[in-house]
Structure formats: C-alpha cells, structure tokens
C-alpha cells in the first residue's frame, strides 16, 4: 500500500519537467488518484501521458476555469482529498520599473487566482483534506528585482494560515512549502547547473546544493499523507537551510556570469 493510497489529488500548475509534474508523479507512485491541470493543453497532455493521470485545462487567472476543474475532479472521482497549487510567474524586474500591468498580472497569477483556488477547495473538501500551496524561499529572505513575486508569495503564505485557522474544524489542513532555487525545473532556466552560479548558491545553502523537484515532491507527499495529520498552518522551508543565510546579490550573479563586477 502506498502512503496516500486511493486519495484523490488535484495538482494545478503542471507542465513537462516542472515541480507540479514531479509532485503528481510522486503522488501516483504512492497510490493516489491524480488529476493535473494547467493552462496549456498540449504541454498538459504530454505531462499527463508521461505519468498516466487525468488532466483538465485550467488557467488560474480565470475563476470559471478553477470552478470547472474542481467540478470535473468531483465528477470523475467523487471527492477531493488533496489540492496542490504549484502555479507561479518568476518575474525579475527592478522595483521602480515594474509596471501596473505587470503588478496586475502577478496579482492574478499569484494571489487572486490562488485565493480562489483555495476557496473552491474548501467548498469541495466537505470531509476534510490537505491543501498545499507552493511558495518560495524569497517570501522570507531577500532577492533583488523580485518584489512583486516575493510579495504575492508572502501574502499567500498568510492566506494559508487563515484557511488553516478558519477551516480546521472541517478537517481541512492547509500548509505551504517554500523551495529555494531548483536546479532541474524550468523556472531556474538551467542557471543552477552553471558552476559559477551553483557555487554562489552552495555558499548560501548549509546543505551545500541547490534543490531539485523531488525534494519538494517528497515534502508535498508528507503533507498529503496521514503522517502529517496534526500539521496545519505551517510554511515548510524545503531549501537546504537557505533561510539561515541569504540569496546572492544581483551584482554577484552578474559577476559570476562574466558581467558586472561584484561589489559586496
């Protein structure tokens, strides 16, 4: 028997090779019935075929899509036990250069949409369940030119605590996971496999390596399972201890790439 045998999980924010797919794959390996979702049908079908799960198109910025996703999962499986939001937009933009349009897009992807996803999950989990939000180490420690991303992730961490507080009596647990940079996912653009950049991060990570998607999938599995049945309202820092230190500065990153000299 798997650790989440026969539990029904919805994982939103899946594309081939990303963190969402790693989580879905891990859930399937441990016996769950999984439906994955994302906004790009072709990529979603590819990911679903690779791990053998159901899928549904869902753009997190569209409330109708979210509600249809939840209904589709309920119609197919009869219930939802685990809901994971792994969506995000890794905008890197200087603070004073970030436009209103970009702020509105970031809010739609990383705050309003996730908020509405949690609302739909709370309504669907009439017999309780586990809600998992993928956050970021940068919701706690600083990173240059990343304020819109960081602020919305930090905001959702607190919304997760609100859900845990208000719906614990309904048997709903809500937690978030904060990865650091993950070397094998699209958002890192392969930068953490470039030795000069990897060395910068090793200096700031006590466990001496960048994360990989499997690290986050393992944490999500634990939160989805009954092993964490008394854990709610928490933010798990799954980043090798990086919150004990810092992110490299933008000057250090440029210098490592052979550009602007570091001034620290």
Instruction: Please list the active-site residues.
Output: 149
Query: How far is 23 from 80, CA to CA, in rounded Å?
Result: 16
Per-residue tokens: 120: 């739909």
Residues facing residue 8 across a β-bridge = 33
Burial class (CB in 10 A: 0-12, 13-18, 19+), 119: middle
CB 197 within 8 A of CB 257: yes
Give the phi and the psi of residue 224 in degrees, each rounded to 5.
-75, -25
Give the integer Cα–Cα distance in Å for 40 and 44: 6
Residues 143, 156: Cα–Cα separation, whole Å: 18
């Amino acid at each position: 028997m798997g650790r989440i045998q026969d539990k029904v999980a919805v994982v939103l924010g899946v594309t081939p090779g990303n963190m969402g797919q790693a989580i879905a794959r891990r859930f399937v390996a441990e016996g769950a019935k999984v439906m994955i979702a994302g906004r790009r049908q072709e990529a979603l079908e590819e990911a679903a075929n690779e791990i053998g799960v159901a899928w549904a198109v869902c753009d997190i910025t569209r409330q109708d899509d979210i509600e249809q996703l939840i209904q589709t999962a309920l119609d197919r499986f009869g219930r939802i036990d685990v809901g994971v939001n792994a969506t995000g937009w890794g905008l890197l933009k200087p603070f004073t250069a970030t436009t209103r349009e970009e702020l509105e897009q970031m809010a739609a992807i990383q705050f309003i949409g996730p908020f509405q996803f949690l609302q739909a999950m709370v309504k669907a989990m009439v017999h309780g369940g586990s809600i998992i939000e993928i956050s970021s180490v940068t919701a706690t420690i600083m990173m240059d030119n990343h304020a819109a991303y960081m602020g919305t992730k930090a905001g959702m961490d607190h919304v997760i605590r609100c859900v845990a507080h208000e719906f614990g009596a309904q048997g709903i647990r809500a937690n978030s996971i904060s990865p650091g940079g993950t070397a094998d996912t699209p958002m890192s653009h392969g930068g953490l496999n470039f030795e000069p950049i990897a060395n910068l991060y090793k200096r700031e990570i006590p466990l001496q390596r960048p994360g990989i998607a499997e690290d986050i999938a393992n944490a999500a599995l634990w939160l989805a399972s009954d092993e964490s049945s008394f854990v709610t309202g928490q933010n798990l820092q799954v980043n090798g201890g990086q919150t004990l230190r810092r992110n490299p500065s933008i000057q250090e990153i440029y210098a490592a790439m052979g550009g602007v000299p570091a001034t620290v």
